[in-house]
Amino acid sequence: MNILNEGLKEAFGFKLGTFTLENLVSAVITFFICYIAIKVIMKFIKPLITKLPIDATLHKFSLSVIKVLLYFLAVIIVAQSFGINATSLIALFSVAGLAVSLAIQGSLSNIASGIVMLLTKPFLAGDYIEAGGIGGTVKEIGFIHTKIITVDNKVIYIPNSEISSGKITNYSAEALRRVDLNFEASYESETETVKRAILNAVNDCGIFLNEPEVFVSVSQYKDSSIQYVVRAWIKNSDYWTGYYMLIENVKKEFDANDIVMTYNHLNVHMIKD
């Protein structure tokens, strides 16, 4: 033990202390008291943490951090029972902590990003988002990864650092969304007839809102057709239903009004001498 003490003193500047039966009994009693105190403290702190307006995942993380800090303090107190210098012991733990943090700096970056996302809440579980080049519904926000379910039911885990460092598009954040679609009709079709047909197609869906008002207008004169734009507001939950329903209804209205939906083609005019 003396040899080990001397080695530690030379390497880190402190000794393990004096190990006697009296010190051992004192340390056991001290640890038992600290253990009971930690239990009591956590019992009072847990309700306070769970009432904070933060994500449930962050509640668990905060409680874990507090518990670790309390047990670290308990180790320091017990160590002093053996005559170990607390300052030197903290310095030793600091060196060890630095070495570990350098080894897992990638994971620490993900944890930090996860905490930031849980605090700022750019999205919640159940939201449909695009982040890190992936689109899907958020299943779970963890401290290392965010779990996303794609539309074809694939489970993808995206590192939190990739999400927080890039652009996040949240399609579920607002109650309403706007469906924007473009349609093309021939130059032979009357503009007002086409616009009225598109507006009828919107109304026939039965799920688009009257306020804000539906917008239909000419958006571009192209080589072989006139392009029309329609913008209609809908509840977020009905977005894709309305999107595809409107596309089908426009074709029905165009057919009913003899409106030609053009495609890329070339007209050749023959001129006789």
Give the pLDDT of residue 103: 54
- Cβ contacts of residue 45 below 8 Å, gap of 6+? 63, 66
Phi first, then psi, for residue 232 (nearest 5°) are -135, 135
Question: Does residue 247 or residue 22 have the better pLDDT?
Answer: 247
Q: Which residue has the tokens 């507090």?
A: 66
Pairing label, strands 128-131, 134-141: antiparallel
What percentage of the chain reaches a pLDDT higher than 90?
A: 37
- The C-alpha atoms of residue 74 and residue 201 are separated, in whole angstroms, by 71
pLDDT tens-digit series, residues 132-184: 888 999 988 887 889 999 989 999 999 888 888 889 999 998 999 999 999 99
Number of H helices, E strands in the chain: 8, 8
pLDDT tens-digit series, residues 2-33: 444 444 444 444 444 555 666 677 778 888 88
Distances (CA, A) of 12 to 50, 81, 99, 101, 239: 41, 20, 15, 20, 65
Q: What amino acid occupies position 115?
A: I
Helix axis angle, 105-120 to 56-81, nearest 10°: 130
Phi first, then psi, for residue 151 (nearest 5°) are -65, -25
pLDDT tens-digit series, residues 71-102: 888 888 777 776 666 666 666 666 666 665 65
- Cβ contacts of residue 41 below 8 Å, gap of 6+? 70
| Mean predicted confidence (pLDDT) in 37-58 | 79
pTM comes to 0.62
- The C-alpha atoms of residue 107 and residue 161 are separated, in whole angstroms, by 9
- The C-alpha atoms of residue 169 and residue 235 are separated, in whole angstroms, by 18
Give the pLDDT of residue 38: 85
CB 220 within 8 Å of CB 171: no
- What are 93's two structure tokens? 């733990």
Distances (CA, A) of 122 to 12, 83, 114: 46, 50, 11
Give the pLDDT of residue 55: 66
C-alpha 20: how far from its chain's center?
Answer: 54
What is the maximum span of the chain, computed from C-alpha positions, in angstroms?
123
